[in-house]
Amino acid sequence: MKQYTVDAFTDKLFSGNPAAVCIMDSFPADSLMQGIAAENNLSETAFAVKEGEHYHIRWFTPASEIDFCGHATLAAAYVLFSFYEKNSESIGFVGQRGSFSVSYRNGLIEMDFPVYSLEHAEITDLMIEALGTIPLAAYRDRDLLFVLRDEDEVRGLQPDMALLSQLDAACVAVTAKGSGYDCVSRVFAPKYGIAEDPVTGSTHCMIAPYWSRRLGKETLTAFQASKRTGELFCTVRGDRVLIAGRAALFSISEIML
């Protein structure tokens, strides 16, 4: 089985978020895909199978399957545009959260996703203890989004991972207005065996709508301030958000099954 490793949301190696990608004729057993993801020990490994005019895509963390992943989708689209669908400008995908399209234009891979809701969440003592600070506001969907005071607080945050894993959320994100970018964020997913996710496309389905409303602008530049860092270019249009980024191919390998 051929496997590609791609750094997503970056144009240079050793930054962005690395994802493994396998393009197959049919899905193997779930246990095998989970085993491959655990062996890779990356935030996500994506598996994609062409079904008619679209690709069915699934994402696995080292610990379990996840319902949606942005950076591994970008990585999978990069592989497909580069090696499998060289003459295509757009690729349709179907995942657990429904269908969406990915396009390649102006040097960016652009993913068309549904926005997450921004339901106000009550700030609890557990949240404060887990974060190590009192957030200005909290919002809930699949993920939890906390608004902090400024970029320095986002960058300097040292949350308690054991306590974060007790929160009712797939990912826990913190964000603030950025300097040089419209917004800055960090994302943690200890429930899925990921302490800090380097760059998180899916959570920007929540971060981008928040800052779009807050700043009164449709198009945003976003920076994820993990150790590896990453850039996202977001456009909010009603109930959809376009999340775009670049990618860099790290390796092509053969899984010996």
Buried b or exposed e, range 208-233, using 16+ CB within 10 angstroms = bbbbbeeeeeeebebbbbbebebbbb
Q: Given the residues 44, 110, 151, 231, select the one marked as catalytic.
A: 44
Q: And the tokens for 228? A: 């590896």
Q: Is 53 a catalytic residue?
A: no
Active site residues: 44
